[in-house]
Structure 1
Amino acid sequence: MTHFRYNRFLVALIFAGLLAALAIGWQRHTVEVGNSRVETVMDYEEVVELAQMEGVPVPEMMRMLKEAGLTSLAVYEMTLEKLQKSGKLTVVPGAELLAHYRSGEIDKPLFQESGGRIDPAQVYIFADRQNPGDQSFFEELTADLSRRLGAGRVHSLTPLDNRLAVAVDTSFDKTLKWNLGLPSHQMQDAADNGFAIVARPSNYTKVKPDDVSAVFARLSPFAAHISGLMFVGEEALGFPDLLPLTARLIAESGYTLYMIEHPVQLQFIKQEGLTAIAAAAGYRAARVYVIPKDEQPRIAVNTAINRWALSDRERNIRVNLLRKFERTDPGQSLTETNLRYISGVKKAVEAKGFTLGRAGVFQPYFPAPWLLAVVILGVTAAGVLFLTLVWPFPVRWQYILLIVIALALAIPVLAGGGTLARQATALAAAVLFPTLAMTWQLDRWRSSPPREGSALARILVDGLGGLTVATLMSLAGGLYLGAVLGDIRFLLEIEIFRGVKLTLILPLLLITVIYIVRYNPWGGGRIDSPQAVVAQLKRVLDYPVYVKTLLLFAAGAGAAWVFIGRSGHTAGVPVPAFEIKLRTFLEQTMYARPREKEFLIGHPAFLVAVLALYRQWPRLAHYVLIVAATVGQGSMVETFAHLRTPVFMSLVRGLDGLLVGALIGILAVVAVQLLHYLSFLLGRRLAPHE
């Protein structure tokens, strides 16, 4: 039996790297707990629409929503269509206006200019002089039209009656929907009713510095009330060439940049230049979540409330962009339903330890490069150690390999960059540590083989002890991963961990290599040379294939399809209803819901694998159980790859998974043992009749 040595120097470097990872993890934890303020936002237009639908004055509706827990109103840019529907103005194509004039419906000139002549190619915009604010509103509208279309296409008119009018050289249908500018009257209304303002500007075609400056000039009178900017459309304001100007004005104004999470919960909706502005503005940014518009009608109010609390805690969401519910709860009006919704969100969020107000932001945290270098050294030592456990090679070559790889990864980091090197280190940690955890367990069993016929209690004690140690080793890998990528860019998900699929697949392949090297299930002697490896491959290829083998491979392929399809953020294998209910139950009863791969697959398989050793099950069955156990270990480390999730929560999630998985594993071992006893008793009863 080949004896594999665990190089103590490499183990010491791994421990040193873990200490550095813990130091970074604590700093990161401090930054995360310091950001605990959540903003609840609803569109200004939705509030007005709700008031109109319910026949409630808009100020009264705003008062009720504010008391329920709404903190801010999002104000979008004006469009002629919105303004016409709201009654602020009337937009008429010139051809239509001319037709009314010729038919006699209009029997006198409309304007002083050109004898009141009407141009059918123009669009005419009218507003009444009802109060002193109408003049400033119309001037604002005219300025926005001139900025979007060009001053030469907007013509001020002097009506012969008490109205305001302007003629525009443009297409009627297209002009109606154009974003023009942020309406001061809506921002003033929001501020007067005690709300913070979330400004939602869009970009300009062939944007110029004056365009960007004009947006901030429009916001300036309301600066004390504005909490942040949330861009509309596929481009951030200033894209492509004026992003530095936008970032500078955001920073100078003290606004926060709001970034809307993508519906698949990976990074953000497509807005060119968004992350560049966030970086240039010093990462004063907050993550926004909104329930997809096509999904909200299908879910209950209570489900939506629970989702907000979960999103804020698990994904560092600090802006809850709420849409109104358009269907009523039984026995409630639409107003009562939405008030219950908003107040429910407020209570659920506060129950998780958050406070309501303007969105909190992370301190611009970046770990010290020398600490990152120590972490990189520790992961490199783990990689070299793994290679020695596959194929022992001279110590001097171990150290040469250690130095070369560690320097290649650490030098860019020490120079102030190295994002790619850090991502590669994180991937290595995610793959290596669960594999090393299971490798150590296999070597422990080989050095002290379990005794056949041992009591069930001994099996459970051995299994639970081994599972605990393996879990702690895997969690160490998670701490490594969470530390090496633990800066504000990853917390905001501007940068992400790369290689989620690999973290799930590679540990299974590596533990397969380890298992073959340790147990050589196909026979043929020791695998300690290239010739032995080639001979073993030939022996595997010559292995006879039975129908049961094909069925086993088919079952394995199905399991792999589910396993891989359920990972990542793209649409894959659907989640059944009973599992959704199980998740909800665990979310409500535990601090952090453990992952099914751990408590339903990995940890129970680990304990059953120990039973398989004690009961001398076939080697193939033991191998399958070891692979399943590795799934659980890899899942724990992969949890830390979600950098937007607080590191403390990822750690507790792994420990919760250990607790629940151990309980399920104990039940599984006892059930298997009872089935074994039952089959033995049935065999004895049937024997006399044979």
Structure 2
Amino acid sequence: MREFKYNKILLLCIVIGLAAALTIVWQRHKIEESSTIIEMVMEYEDVVELAQLEGVPTDHVMQRMKEAGITSLAVYETTLEKLNKSGKVAVLSGAQLMQQYYTGMQGDVVWRNLIETGRIQAEDVYVVGRDPQVFAEVKEDLIERLSPERVTVLDSQRQILAVKANYEKVVKWNLGLPSDEMRYVSGQGFYIVARPSNYTKVEKENVEGVFDRLSGIENVSALIFVGDEALGYPDLLPLTLEKVKGKQLTLGLIEHPLQLQFFKQEGLVPMAIANDYKAARVYVIPKDEQPKLKSAEAVQRWIVTDQERNIRINLLRKYDKAEPGKTLLETNLEYVANVRDGLIASGFSIGKAGVFHPYFPNIFLLVAITVGAVAAGVLFLSLVRPFPVGYQYALFLLLSLVFAFPLLKGSGNAVRQAVALCSAVIFPVLAMTWQLDRWRKMSIEGRGSLMGIIKDGIGGLIITVMLSMVGGMYVAAVLGDVRFFLEMEIFRGVKVTFVAPLLLITIIYLARYNLFENEVEDEKDIWSQVVKLLNYPLYIKTLLIAALVAVGAWVFIGRSGHTAGVPVLDIELKMRAFLERAMYARPRGKEFMIGHPAFFLAVMALYRKWPRVVHYAMIVVATIAQGSLVETFAHLRTPVLMSFVRGIDGMVAGIGVGIVAVLAVQVLCYLSVVLGRRPVKNE
């Protein structure tokens, strides 16, 4: 039997890398724990509409929402359509005014005079003000959005503007942030989340105009841009940044519906970086999805979202349908209050959004982790096919220098990604390799009892999970900086981490076992076994098995990441919801439902001397769980403590399911004997 030796120097380097990783992980944990304030936001227009639907004063709804937990109201730029509906201005088309005149329905002397003197044009738009300040702001906004040549004051006393624009289009254009709404919101005791949009061919006056509106308003907490560009893009971002810093505003990053990074807004990320990372991730339940969710489901969604994805601004939409036995206002107040209570019970507090300290790990700690990852890679190669120790050290030193040099120069983002990918792939394989080598060295005679299988399965799985966790710590540490917390940067290579460990453990397995012999091991190398596998006769049952494997691979790979489109069964969604409520961190199904039970069955296959191919299959499936466990730490937006607990929860649940799987197989074995389907000697 070929012997594989574990190089102690390489192991020592891995341990040193682990110590460095744990140092960074602890620092990261403290930073994550210091940012636990959630800003509960609702749109100002939603609150006003709710008051109108219920027929109660807006002030009353405002105070009730504040008591329920809303801390801030989002104020959008106004439009002529909104102002017209609210009665703050009247918006008329020239064609409409002329129709009124020629049909004898226009009795206003001023308008008749304007028409008769030819100052009314059918293709123009006319705005009539009521409040002088609102009228002044509308005039200012229209001039900035259009040009001074296209906006004319027809009658300053009557506050009439003539605007050369298409009526259907101009009434829907964003104008500017309404001062009256922002003052009202601030006066009601809320923070204001301002939502400006960029200008076409933006100029300095445009940017300054936005912040002039904000300058006289207290309690502006955050800025969340509307549209595909940040205010000031492309050339005036420095000016916007200067104004943002001056008001000490938090920039909002709206999470993408696919839950991967956020809506792309040109110029936003560079601005957030230059703002010393004073930015917060924003989540809003999609408008077409919320009506399908019951209030309790939506509440749970918010709690899980804030816990798992570093969301710090919750933009809540109102429900448009009342629950049975409640008014619409009561339905929404209860919804908001339940979100607040659920977050507080989960350890969050409510207020102005918390932000992350601009943390970056110490370079020398990153170098130690990099060296540890290189040591793990060289160790893996030596466990595939042993080669002289001197060559191991030479390869180790060469690769360490190549990877450490960019880090020491102050760059090395690509190196950090490579180290994370290497750790996510290699460490699960090393954990399973250690287990295989342990089994090869031990005597399995007399270990086939049911209790022996369960006992060794539990012990072996715990150790294997702990070894895989080393890789998780490496990943969590080497990419553990504020850019990854905010998902400005993400781990590259998720698909690889799901596939590569399965290929590598296959190589490891073939280097240790003869896949086609059950009792006798020979010295056939890996390639000869691959050739024999390729020459293996094809049967219908073989094709069916291959088809099942292909379907399983499609689901397995397709479920990774965020863009696969592989459907999730309704029963699985319900199970996820149950686990989210029952456990601190919902374990991954591929771990506790598939991989960990397969580990128990691998023990059973080995101890009961089942066909070697069955043992191999269980080892590959068990490796899925180990790879998934390490890949969990690649979700850097998730607090590292939650990722760790998720892995432990998955192991505990997997032990339970694994025991059930062993018992179920044992029952089937007994039934096959009783029914005469298999000779008793094979049991």
* Structure-1-length-normalised TM-score: 0.95
Aligned match of 1:70: 70
Aligned match of 1:154: 151
Which of 480, 499, 512 aligns to 1:505? It is 499
Partner secondary structure for residue 42 of structure 2 = strand
Give the counterpart letter for 2:23 in structure 1.
A
1:458-469 paired onto structure 2 within 5 Å: 458-469=452-463
Aligned equivalents of 2:527 and 2:282: distance in 1? Answer: 55
Aligned in 2, Cα 1:460/1:366: closer, same or farther, shift over 3 Å? same
Aligned match of 1:470: 464
Aligned match of 1:516: 510
Give the counterpart letter for 2:53 in structure 1.
M
Report if aligned partners of 2:106, 2:112 keep a CA contact under 8 Å in 1: no
Aligned match of 2:33: 33
| Unaligned ranges ≥5, structure 2 | none
Give the counterpart letter for 1:51 in structure 2.
A
Which of 400, 408, 427 aligns to 1:406? It is 400
Partner secondary structure for residue 90 of structure 1 = strand
- Tell me the alpha carbon deviations over residues 587-607 of structure 1, each in whole angstroms, 9 at most, x when there is no partner: 111111111111101111101
Partner secondary structure for residue 163 of structure 1 = coil
Report if aligned partners of 1:109, 1:116 keep a CA contact under 8 Å in 2: no
Partner secondary structure for residue 111 of structure 2 = coil
Aligned in 2, Cα 1:533/1:594: closer, same or farther, shift over 3 Å? closer
Aligned equivalents of 2:679 and 2:231: distance in 1? Answer: 82
Aligned equivalents of 1:255 and 1:685: distance in 2? Answer: 73
Which of 109, 126, 129 aligns to 1:127? It is 129
**Is structure 2 residue 53 aligned with structure 1 residue 85?**
no
Residue 403 of structure 1 and its aligned partner are, at CA, apart by: 2.1
Residue 158 of structure 1 and its aligned partner are, at CA, apart by: 1.8
Aligned match of 1:131: none
Which of 185, 192, 196 aligns to 2:180? It is 185
Aligned match of 1:457: 451
Aligned match of 2:538: 545
Partner secondary structure for residue 228 of structure 1 = strand
Aligned equivalents of 1:481 and 1:334: distance in 2? Answer: 47
Report if aligned partners of 1:289, 1:317 keep a CA contact under 8 Å in 2: yes
Report if aligned partners of 2:37, 2:352 keep a CA contact under 8 Å in 1: yes
Give the counterpart letter for 2:630 in structure 1.
V
Report if aligned partners of 1:112, 1:157 keep a CA contact under 8 Å in 2: no
Residue 105 of structure 1 and its aligned partner are, at CA, apart by: 2.6
Greater mean deviation of Cα atoms: 182-191 or 96-105: 96-105
Residue 103 of structure 1 and its aligned partner are, at CA, apart by: 3.2
Aligned in 2, Cα 1:434/1:356: closer, same or farther, shift over 3 Å? same
Aligned in 2, Cα 1:118/1:483: closer, same or farther, shift over 3 Å? same
Aligned match of 2:111: 110
Give the counterpart letter for 1:659 in structure 2.
V
Percent identity, please: 55
Give the counterpart letter for 2:432 in structure 1.
M
Aligned match of 2:229: 235
- Tell me the alpha carbon deviations over residues 425-458 of structure 1, each in whole angstroms, 9 at most, x when there is no partner: 1111100110100011111111114225632222
Greater mean deviation of Cα atoms: 318-327 or 171-180: 171-180
Number of residues of Structure 1 aligned to a counterpart in Structure 2: 675
Aligned match of 1:614: 607
Give the counterpart letter for 2:193 in structure 1.
V
**Is structure 2 residue 588 aligned with structure 1 residue 595?**
yes
Which of 568, 579, 582 aligns to 1:586? It is 579
Aligned equivalents of 2:11 and 2:246: distance in 1? Answer: 50
Report if aligned partners of 2:75, 2:182 keep a CA contact under 8 Å in 1: yes
Residue 115 of structure 1 and its aligned partner are, at CA, apart by: 5.2
Give the counterpart letter for 1:303 in structure 2.
E
**Is structure 2 residue 24 aligned with structure 1 residue 18?**
no
Aligned equivalents of 1:418 and 1:86: distance in 2? Answer: 56
Aligned match of 2:433: 439
1:331-410 paired onto structure 2 within 5 Å: 331-410=325-404
Give the counterpart letter for 1:216 in structure 2.
F
Residue 277 of structure 1 and its aligned partner are, at CA, apart by: 1.2
Report if aligned partners of 1:111, 1:158 keep a CA contact under 8 Å in 2: no
Aligned equivalents of 1:211 and 1:601: distance in 2? Answer: 58
Partner secondary structure for residue 70 of structure 1 = coil
Aligned match of 2:190: 195
Give the counterpart letter for 1:127 in structure 2.
G
Residue 525 of structure 1 and its aligned partner are, at CA, apart by: 4.7
Aligned equivalents of 1:39 and 1:421: distance in 2? Answer: 36
| Unaligned ranges ≥5, structure 1 | 129-133
Report if aligned partners of 1:74, 1:199 keep a CA contact under 8 Å in 2: yes
Give the counterpart letter for 2:572 in structure 1.
E
Aligned equivalents of 1:448 and 1:525: distance in 2? Answer: 18
Aligned equivalents of 2:530 and 2:578: distance in 1? Answer: 47
Report if aligned partners of 2:143, 2:151 keep a CA contact under 8 Å in 1: yes
Greater mean deviation of Cα atoms: 673-682 or 290-299: 673-682
Residue 404 of structure 1 and its aligned partner are, at CA, apart by: 2.3
1:274-285 paired onto structure 2 within 5 Å: 274-285=268-279
Report if aligned partners of 2:83, 2:89 keep a CA contact under 8 Å in 1: yes
Residue 405 of structure 1 and its aligned partner are, at CA, apart by: 2.0
**Is structure 2 residue 59 aligned with structure 1 residue 59?**
yes
Greater mean deviation of Cα atoms: 465-474 or 676-685: 676-685
Aligned match of 2:213: 218
Aligned match of 1:143: 140
Which of 554, 558, 574 aligns to 1:561? It is 554
Aligned in 2, Cα 1:195/1:39: closer, same or farther, shift over 3 Å? same
Report if aligned partners of 2:516, 2:613 keep a CA contact under 8 Å in 1: no
Aligned equivalents of 1:295 and 1:675: distance in 2? Answer: 44
Aligned equivalents of 1:564 and 1:684: distance in 2? Answer: 36
Residue 572 of structure 1 and its aligned partner are, at CA, apart by: 2.1
Report if aligned partners of 2:448, 2:604 keep a CA contact under 8 Å in 1: no
Aligned equivalents of 1:626 and 1:287: distance in 2? Answer: 40
Give the counterpart letter for 1:500 in structure 2.
V
Report if aligned partners of 1:239, 1:273 keep a CA contact under 8 Å in 2: yes
Aligned equivalents of 2:294 and 2:530: distance in 1? Answer: 56
Aligned equivalents of 2:213 and 2:547: distance in 1? Answer: 64
Aligned match of 1:643: 636
Aligned in 2, Cα 1:670/1:685: closer, same or farther, shift over 3 Å? closer
Greater mean deviation of Cα atoms: 596-605 or 97-106: 97-106
Give the counterpart letter for 1:126 in structure 2.
V
Aligned in 2, Cα 1:571/1:45: closer, same or farther, shift over 3 Å? farther
Which of 234, 243, 247 aligns to 1:249? It is 243
Report if aligned partners of 1:467, 1:606 keep a CA contact under 8 Å in 2: yes
- Tell me the alpha carbon deviations over residues 80-136 of structure 1, each in whole angstroms, 9 at most, x when there is no partner: 1111111111111122212323333335233998957322232110022xxxxx111
Partner secondary structure for residue 216 of structure 2 = helix
Give the counterpart letter for 2:61 in structure 1.
M
Aligned match of 1:271: 265
Which of 299, 306, 323 aligns to 1:305? It is 299
Greater mean deviation of Cα atoms: 378-387 or 391-400: 391-400
Residue 308 of structure 1 and its aligned partner are, at CA, apart by: 0.5
Aligned equivalents of 1:148 and 1:419: distance in 2? Answer: 41
CA RMSD after TM alignment: 1.8
Residue 554 of structure 1 and its aligned partner are, at CA, apart by: 1.1
Give the counterpart letter for 1:674 in structure 2.
V
Partner secondary structure for residue 60 of structure 1 = helix
- Tell me the alpha carbon deviations over residues 530-555 of structure 1, each in whole angstroms, 9 at most, x when there is no partner: xx555444322211112221111111
Report if aligned partners of 1:412, 1:418 keep a CA contact under 8 Å in 2: yes
Report if aligned partners of 2:510, 2:526 keep a CA contact under 8 Å in 1: no
Aligned equivalents of 1:283 and 1:659: distance in 2? Answer: 38
- Tell me the alpha carbon deviations over residues 65-93 of structure 1, each in whole angstroms, 9 at most, x when there is no partner: 11111111000001111111111111111
